[in-house]
A = this chain, B = another copy of it.
Amino acid sequence: MTADGVATGGDLAIGVDIGGTKCLALVLRGDTVIDESRRETPSADHLAEHLIDMVSAIEERLGCRVPVLGVGAPGLVTPDGVVRASPNLRDAADVALGKRLRDVGRWRVHVENDATAAAYAEWATGVARGSRHVMMVTLGTGIGGGWVVDGKVHRGAHGFAGEIGHMVIVANGTPCPCGKRGCWERYASGSALRQFSGGEDGEVVARRAARGDADALSVMQTFADWVALGLANLVNAFDPEVIVLGGGVVESADMFLPVVKDRLREHLYSSEQRPCPDVVAAKHGERSGAIGAALLGRLH
């Protein structure tokens, strides 16, 4: 009980993953998800209020306070929780999300890059448990990346590692909202898949392909090839033990992963002379980011 008589859930943690279109919030008791909710993502200047509102609704539903709030946000996130830039969030530039949530005075707050949070979740409690070198790749509105190197989350010298979606793979290629051209996420994100399929949702194309639809199969293969090309670049540079793919596309497409694996081997430098890292779907699916945010929130 707190001073004002409201019970506190001591082992509970809330994790929120801020996506390009939706925010997913969930509650962990231990490693188990006991509550889950979704709302549309507002513009960046309304983000803090929106999250406070969302979390308050969860606490009301649970009938107790939750001491830990972890948030996964796309783009550049500083170690103290400022969202510096995020082309897939409207108006995001220097949003002091961590401070605004901390100022409420109700939670221990930690804000993390969403894909880094997802990497942590898959490494700590998911498919990459026990691996020393993990590359997490989330295929959503954009492409996010998170790393575990030598058994530790790797955030880089300034906390901005993992912006793999903006790796240029086609110099002077398709323009990207980030201002550059030919970024990987223009060819291999969920949005790219939607574009390849004439506006159809990625999960719908994947289901059509799984039923044997020739057009959908061709779209999925082109898409898988672009995914694999970028993965090969990163494996060449970093040689991870395992690649974990997350995002809606991956969850719904059993035929997608085998094609990616196959094409990765072909794109990889000198692939016949080396082991190819395994490519696996995130155990926590689209929840990886939110689960990781909650778990990391506990640690901070």
Contacts and interface: CB of A to CB of B under 8 A. Distances in A.
A166 B162 CA distance: 19
A236 interface: yes
A178 B270 contact: yes
Contact of A239 (B84, B159, B167, B233): B159
Given A150-B149, A170-B170, A267-B180, A274 B240 contact: no
A153 to B, nearest CB: 10
A232 B76 CA distance: 15
The copy count of this chain in the complex is 2
A158 interface: yes
Contact of A180 (B75, B237, B269): B269
A234 interface: yes
Interface residues of A, number: 52
Main secondary structure of the interface of A (DSSP, over half): loop
B239 A238 contact: no
Contacts of A133: 156-157
Contact of A75 (B76, B161, B232, B270): B270
A239 B147 CA distance: 11
Interface in A256-273: 267, 269-270, 273
